[in-house]
Structure formats: C-alpha cells, structure tokens
C-alpha cells in the first residue's frame, strides 16, 4: 500500500518583498556561469542581495549523482535519489532547483541560476511555479545564445571532445537535444565580451524595477 503523505502549507509570519529568478540557459560552454557570476559581482558591489545557483555546484550536493551518494548512503539509496543526465533525471534536476530558486526568490534574493536546462517544458514549469507565487516579472529567462562551434572551441571541461570521441553519450548539442527559448526576456550573444553581457542583464533588471534601493 502506498503511504499517503499528509502535509499542510504553513504561512510565514514575516511578509517579505519577493526578489526574482534570473534563469540562464544555453549550451555547455556558452558562458552561462561566467555571465551569471559577473552579474552577481556587479549586484554585490551595488549592495543588492543576490546569489548564483550553478549547475555543476548543485550536482555536488542537492542533486548529486549515484556515485557521489553511494559511499555515505548505500547503493539502494543512491539508485533511488541520485541523478544522472537522462531525460527524466534532467527533469528532476530542474524541478528541484526550480523549487530552491523560488524559495530564494521568496526571501527577497535576486536568484541567478546557471543550468543548461535543455528542455523548454522544464523551464516553463519553473516559470509557472515562480510567477504563481508572485507575478509575471519574477521570472527572467536569459538565453546565452552561443553557436555550438564556439562552445566546442572553448570546451572548458573537455566534454565536447569526449562526446565527439564516443566516450560520453547523451550530451546536449551533440547526441541530445537543446530546445532554445522561444521568447526569453533577455537574449544574449554569447560571443560578445562577458562584461557587456552582464551589463545587459543588469540593465534589464533595472529597467523592470527588480533592483530596489
């Protein structure tokens, strides 16, 4: 018999103004994390509360793989909760981080997320959740649009080389799809200088009244 989960939403005593979720998406090597961290630095220097949730960093803990979980939690636990890079695992990866990003947003934080997040439906679900708890302007999709050939030239982790050599399967842009945003709030030319791209994002936040104070 499936155990029924009995949970009730508990309203918080403190009513805080919401921040926003700035969702960077693009191919591996497109510059998502680099631009997000540059935006974070600019916001920090101007005394705004922000934080970067980075795809690789999150997979070291919250969304860890089976290999990382098994030593401390055992094989059965690791098989059940560890995440790989198949379609369902990617969906769960984005679902979890979407929930975390929304919590950060509810605390008033400008939450910068840098994830490949290749499936449009996954990003749309996060958008729907964030705006359901706030308003339409609380979710800002930033498409770091960098051509595949430039991403491969950069290849900072050597992943494209492994994918081309057949040592890595299911890699986005090579043998797995990437669904680019149809109407992102911010569309960045990933081949442009990082400072320029970060300024473009900050300017969008300013012009849409997301930077208070």
Mind telling me the catalytic residues?
117
What is the Cα–Cα distance from 136 to 18, expressed in whole angstroms?
12
In SS3 terms, the chain reads as CCCCCCCCCCCCCCCCCCCEEEEEECCCCCCHHHHHHHHHHHHHHCCCCEEEEEHHHHCCCCCCCHHHHHHHHCHHHHHHHCCCCCHHHHHHHHHHHHHHHHHHHHCCCEEEEECCCCCHHHHHHHHHHHHHCCCHHHEEEEEEECCHHHHHHHCCCCHHHHHHCCCCCCCECCCECCCCCCCCCEEEECCCCHHHHHHHHHHHHHHCCCCCC
As a whole number of angstroms, the longest Cα–Cα distance in the chain is: 57
Triad 180, 123, 170: Cα angle to 5°? 65
């Amino acid at each position: 018999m499936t155990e029924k989960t009995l949970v009730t939403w508990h309203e918080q005593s403190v009513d805080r103004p919401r921040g926003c979720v700035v969702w960077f998406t693009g191919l591996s090597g497109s510059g998502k994390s680099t631009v997000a961290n540059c935006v974070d630095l600019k916001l920090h220097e101007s005394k705004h509360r922000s934080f970067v949730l980075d795809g690789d960093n999150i997979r070291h803990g919250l969304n860890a793989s089976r290999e990382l979980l098994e030593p401390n939690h055992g094989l059965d636990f690791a098989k059940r909760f560890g995440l790989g890079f198949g379609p369902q695992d990617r969906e769960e990866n984005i679902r979890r981080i979407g929930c975390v990003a929304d919590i950060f947003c509810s605390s008033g934080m400008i939450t910068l997320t840098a994830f490949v997040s290749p499936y449009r439906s996954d990003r749309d679900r996060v958008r729907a959740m964030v705006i359901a708890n706030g308003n339409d302007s609380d979710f800002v999709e930033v498409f770091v649009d960098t051509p595949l050939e430039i991403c491969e030239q950069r290849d900072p982790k050597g992943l494209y080389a492994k994918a081309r050599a057949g040592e890595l399967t299911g890699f986005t842009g090579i043998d797995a799809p990437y669904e680019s945003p149809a109407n992102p709030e911010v569309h960045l030319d990933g081949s442009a200088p990082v400072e320029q791209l970060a300024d473009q994002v900050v300017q969008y936040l300013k012009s849409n009244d997301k930077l208070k104070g």
